[in-house]
Amino acid sequence: MVLVLLWQFSIGTRLVSQILLKSVRMVSLAFGPMLTRNFR
């Protein structure tokens, strides 16, 4: 029972971390040029 919960929790955290990495990458690609343009 506890092993199944831990297994599902690890899979969930892995999915969430992948989604966060993808969103951060997309945001950095979208806002990176604008931020560098504003700073220069």
Host H or E run for residue 40: none
Q: Quote the pLDDT of residue 33.
A: 82
**Predicted pLDDT of residue 38:** 74
Tens digits of residue pLDDT in 1-40: 789 999 999 999 999 999 999 999 999 998 888 877 777 6
Q: What is the model's pLDDT at position 37? A: 79
- Cβ partners under 8 Å of residue 5, min gap 6: none
Q: pTM score, two decimals? A: 0.56
Among residues 10, 7, 29, 8, the alpha carbon closest in space to that of 18 is found at 10
What pLDDT, on a 0 to 100 scale, did the predictor assign at position 36? 78
Residue 25 pLDDT: 94
